[in-house]
Amino acid sequence: MAAIAHVQGPRGTRLAYAKTEGTGPCVVFLSGYRSDMAGTKAVHLEAWAAARGRAFLRFDYAGHGQSGGVFEEGCIGDWAADAEAVIAHAAPGPVVMVGSSMGGWIAAILAKRLPEIAGFIGIAAAPDFTEDGFWAGFSEDQRRQVMEEGQLLVPSAYEDPYFVTAKLIEDGRDQLVLRSPLVMGWPVRLLQGTEDEAVTRKTALRLLDHIDGPDVRLTFVKGADHRFSTPDCLAQIEAALVEVLG
């Protein structure tokens, strides 16, 4: 595995990343909400890239994994800025973004910011989830609590309960990507499990329909859940990378 390095983020936070040197475009893994760069998909793809002499970058947003900061103080805009800063520092050339869950949303935000993008792979991509998932699913009492008290404790299907903050909700509304044009003039591959309990098929189809690009494809994998980390699912990601990298 590549050694962990650090760079100062846009808000002064120490951000951790691991860069594997190799030929470009650099494959950049964007992890999900409350996930980090030590996850199964990130580590697997790092090894896949290293075996092929391919440049690869994984990193942690502020408040995640080995980076500094407090998770509850962050929001989508902050984490997108972290991603942009790490990429500018460690992989300034063309990149292929692989965005898992929230990472898919952040990749869509970066599609409007990064100077050189060669492709995008979305794995259970979750654009606009703070509004269409959290907020839409809250009761009136929950909405009042999060906005008036600043946070709301919600259960998780994977880990301990966690707080959703008013900052996350309010900032999320400034980062929405499904309400305005989303142009991606490079190959796009979207992968979605049929048994995903966090991101619906409707979300995957909505993103497919919304992206304006010449080469956009969506693959449903029967039986796969939100983790999308079984050997078969990892092979699907590898195949998508081979296609996008050409």
What are residue 23's DSSP bridge partners? Answer: 54
Domain boundaries, the chain: 14-128+181-245
Q: Which of 64, 101, 128, 132 is catalytic?
A: 101
Could you confirm whether 226 is annotated as catalytic?
yes
SS (H, E, C) 214-246: CCEEEEEECCCCCCCCCHHHHHHHHHHHHHHHC
Specify whether the CB–CB gap between 216 and 188 falls below 8 A: yes
Q: Greater confidence, 212 or 154?
A: 212
- Per CATH, the number for 14-128+181-245 is 3.40.50.1820
Over residues 196-213, the pLDDT tens digits come to 999 999 999 999 999 999
- Please state, in angstroms and rounded to a whole number, the distance separating the CA atoms of residues 132 and 137: 8
- Please state, in angstroms and rounded to a whole number, the distance separating the CA atoms of residues 130 and 222: 26
Report the mean per-residue pLDDT for the chain.
96
Could you confirm whether 100 is annotated as catalytic?
no
Could you confirm whether 36 is annotated as catalytic?
no
**What phi-psi label fits residue 157: left (phi over 0), alpha (psi between -120 and 50 degrees) or beta?**
alpha
Q: Which of 60, 78, 132, 196 is catalytic?
A: 196
Q: Which amino acid type is present at position 174?
A: D
Look at residue 43 in the predicted model and tell me its pLDDT.
98
Label residue 24 by pLDDT band (50, 70, 90): confident
> pTM here?
0.96
| Strands 188-193, 117-123: pairing kind | parallel
